[in-house]
Amino acid sequence: MRKQHYIINKFFSNLLTVVFFIVLVSSFQNVLAQTKTVAQWIALAKTGQKNLKGANFTGADLQNIDLNSVDLSKANLTGANFTNANLSKAKLEQCNLTGVNFTNANLTKADFLATNMVYVNLKNANLTQALLQEANLSYAILNGANLTSANLILADLSNADLWNATLTNAIISYDATVTATSSTTYEGT
């Protein structure tokens, strides 16, 4: 009986040690992710790495980069330059994209759910079927952007420039879609 009790205690002790080690390693990986420099994140992106969650690309020059299907969830891209970049099917949920330049970028089917996009430049960007639900697009430049079939439900478009933006079949509320092309500046409240 004592031997069984000893074996059970030893088992649970080892199990707790393993669980503690797993939690410790996971926490250490999170710390390492936060300590990478912008240059290290850029190098990872250029290798084709698809998991860039929590990355810091603040002020990075990523013109013409191909980041198709990359996961940038919760990343900080403040002031980064993605001119002519391919971010089709990219996951950008809950990112900080303040002041990012996406001029002429391919953002087809990109996921911007609940993302901060204040002052973002999306001039002539392709946002066909993009998920922009709950995104903050205040003061965004969407001049000439293609938002065909994009989901804009609960998106904040206050003071956004939508001059010549294509909004055909864009979903703007739970019960409405836009069926014509916009040629005026949206001046929301």
90-139 pLDDT, tens per residue?
999 999 999 999 999 999 999 999 999 999 999 999 999 999 999 999 99
What pLDDT does residue 132 have?
97
Question: Quick one: average pLDDT of 179-186?
Answer: 46
Phi, psi of 46 (to 5 degrees): -70, -20
Between CA 86 and CA 93 the distance in angstroms is 17
- Exposure letters 153-184 (e unless 16+ CB within 10 A, then b): bebbbebbbbbbbbbbebbbeeeeebeeebee
DSSP 49-107: --B-TT-B-TT-B-TT-B-TT-B-TT-B-TT-B-TT-B-TT-B-TT-B-TT-B-TT-B-
Please tell me the pTM assigned to this model: 0.76
Beta bridge partner(s), residue 112:
none
Percent of the chain at pLDDT exceeding 70: 74
